[in-house]
Chain A
């Protein structure tokens, strides 16, 4: 039944209390070293930031209904889209899956009692909150209008908004990421339970590991780059300002050296979640385990070599552009491999259409579109027309919202019973998954057309080209549906905390070490460290089908 020594560890009389009941004071939460509690702290924090980011998104969509805007001034609009980008990317998308799902599950999945460095883990949450507060303060008191990309020399010499404080916030949050990355790498290397070999690791762990490698190698570079921008603002050191002898394009190189891999920081953990959910709800072993595992590493490696495709029209040389374009095409291959392997996993499974699986279907559909539209932007000629337009906006929302947020919601719905020991109403879950999928496509498909028509991104007014309006209205209509879709889970998930039925240790009949311990798990996860004797995802669709057909009475 499980990958562990046969004895089920939970629910014995002497079993320790769950991590939720290990202490009720605020202090016991705020000074906890328990990775599960820290994950919950992160869940609360990223939800708050997601809320703020969504408010900004709604303002953008409302504003664009009319070619001359609806309610905002130019500079307010610029601050709003900057806030949307910074909050969503630095404070939601990057930490969402690793710091919430990864934090909670990674140690349990490999059979460890905690991450290697619990205090560092807690520190990373505080750094994240501190960074987030800096950014929110900067936005509340005057705002910042550089766009999340902080392009120089606008950010370093021209903008007179709160650039410095915002950058300090992003800088601090970067160290929070780094702390999590170091913790994950060490934990995966050193804390695996006996028998948990590298190729028995759940693919979610592989995804988190590859993500951590990117974080460790990339985040420090953007940290120092942003620091240089601040120093240029404060001391006029001239590294990026042409008036002072510097080169503004150097900033773009350094920035995208991190920020392109950052896209993979956001998507790789989501892909990891998909593996866990798709196997459970098709009752199948994952197809092509090794190919999926190594494609994560390939994405992490190649992802560092493609940053120049953001700069095809920024005056970089033709040959430089060709190299980056070629490598960008190569990085598409590992993603294709994953998609095909997931498709093959469903084949001959025993498919259960429950909420997490619907999100997986949504993920695959949207990620395929997001990934393939990336090819337009990796192609040097079409990129000339499409870059810096709504085509780019639509493309990266398909990857980040369609990919990361769908993956996050799939994982949240899959492990919610493990987190809190409560079930949510599945029908509401399915409904909201459907609404999100429809709303998302209505919001962002029109933006592909807008981009091709030539609507530049970060435009407040488009009265020069009023023919764009139809598509903007369509997009805004879709966004309102999407907003409803996001509100429903917020309601029923919170409802389930109090009124949801008890989930039991393994409501889905899932494999994996996290399902062998009680829900919610005890503080030290395992009474005794398990010994792993089985391959991962030991599902058997045929056997499950046979069991299903046995009448209920004989089953007992």
Chain B
């Protein structure tokens, strides 16, 4: 946290951050936004939580079928994607760091890198998904399952796989849009973000949450033990 204090002091030395009318002072405003973001992330955890509960139930109930079903997932691609996501978390953290130091150039570069890595993640995910489409592993009337375990149980695995990675991918897309808007506003010195590292920090919190979900999804779907 000392980095933040330094940054705040640096900020106070330079131009003042804008203060919105409902707040009395800057620390109150900044803390409000951060607390608000954390509460929002709690709702996100509960949102994914419902699906994780369904996952736990059916993995426990149909453990054999799920093991069989998971072997059709591409572990190298999944691993690559996890690494990509982790790296994007690093670049995002650096973007926040440079925002606090008011180094606009490096902040923008790091935001750009994060967007880039997020796009790489989506492209890899798209390859994975299209392979599943070709192999008829998409739940629904066209679901085909050749293995020994019953098709409905394998289909449930893929239902939750598509449901959860799909919801995660949706979060990644939203993240790309939000980071893009943030970068644009920063580049234009828009008053919403000028001299204010809090928006970057908030977006960073969101992005780390998206990463953490991704990190949970990888072992849960790709690395099911026999």
Partner-B contacts on A (CB < 8 A): 107, 112-118, 178, 181-183, 185-187, 189-191, 216-221, 223-225, 228, 231, 235-239, 243-247, 250, 253-254, 524, 529
Contact = CB atoms under 8 A, between A and B. Distances in A.
26 contacts: A112-B22, A113-B22, A117-B36, A181-B43, A183-B36, A186-B39, A190-B35, A191-B23, A191-B32, A218-B46, A220-B43, A220-B44, A221-B47, A221-B49, A224-B51, A225-B50, A231-B159, A236-B139, A237-B160, A237-B162, A239-B156, A244-B152, A245-B62, A247-B57, A247-B58, A254-B50
A237 B139 contact: yes
B40 interface: yes
A246 B177 CA distance: 35
A228 B39 contact: no
Interface string B10-53: 00000000000111100010011001100110111011111101
A17 to B, nearest CB: 16
A238 B156 contact: yes
Contacts of B31: 190
Contact of A228 (B28, B40, B54, B61): B54
B32 A190 contact: yes
B50 A224 contact: yes
B155 interface: yes
Nearest to A116: B32
A185 B39 contact: yes
Contacts of A118: 22
Given A245-B156, A246-B156, 16 more contacts: A116-B22, A181-B39, A186-B32, A190-B32, A190-B35, A191-B32, A217-B43, A220-B44, A221-B49, A223-B47, A237-B140, A237-B159, A238-B159, A239-B163, A243-B152, A250-B53
A245 B160 CA distance: 13
B139 A235 contact: yes
Interface in B113-164: 139-141, 150, 152-153, 155-156, 159-160, 162-163
A250 B139 contact: no
Contacts of A117: 32, 36
A77 to B, nearest CB: 32
Nearest to B21: A113
A238 B53 CA distance: 15
A245 B139 contact: no
Contacts of A244: 152, 155-156
Contact of A235 (B42, B50, B140, B156): B140
A228 B156 contact: no
Contact of A529 (B24, B53, B156, B160): B24
A113 B39 CA distance: 22
A443 to B, nearest CB: 36
Contacts of A254: 50, 53-54
A185 B41 CA distance: 13
Nearest to B160: A239
A186 B57 CA distance: 35
A220 B39 contact: no
Contact of B48 (A224, A245, A253): A224
A245 B43 contact: no
Contact of B43 (A178, A189, A228): A178
A159 to B, nearest CB: 19
Contacts of B23: 116, 191
A527 B156 CA distance: 60
Nearest to A193: B24
7 nearest A-B pairs in the assembled complex, by CB-CB distance: A245-B152, A237-B159, A220-B47, A114-B22, A224-B50, A220-B46, A190-B32
Nearest to B46: A220
B62 to A, nearest CB: 7
Given A185-B39, A220-B49, A228 B163 contact: yes
B40 A239 contact: no
B22 A217 contact: no
A515 B144 CA distance: 68
A253 B49 CA distance: 13
Contacts of B160: 237, 239
Contacts of B155: 237-238, 244-245
Contact of B42 (A183, A216, A223, A253): A216
Given A114-B22, A191-B28, A221 B152 contact: no
Given A116-B32, A228-B54, A250-B57, A236 B24 contact: no
Contacts of B39: 181-182, 185-186, 216
Contact of B46 (A116, A190, A221, A250): A221
Contacts of B44: 220
A112 B21 CA distance: 10
Contact of B50 (A220, A236, A524): A220
A254 B139 CA distance: 22
Nearest to A236: B140
A221 B46 CA distance: 6
A79 B104 CA distance: 58
A178 B61 CA distance: 33
Contacts of B156: 237-239, 244-246
Interface centre among B42, B54, B160 (most CB of A within 10 A): B54
Contacts of A185: 35-36, 39
B162 to A, nearest CB: 8
Contacts of A220: 43-44, 46-47, 49-50
Interface centre among A235, A238, A247, A250 (most CB of B within 10 A): A238
A238 B152 contact: yes
A238 B139 CA distance: 9
A177 to B, nearest CB: 10
Contact of A186 (B24, B35, B53, B62): B35
B36 A182 contact: yes
Given A190-B35, A236-B140, A182 B43 contact: yes
Nearest to A215: B43
A221 B47 CA distance: 5
Nearest to B55: A239
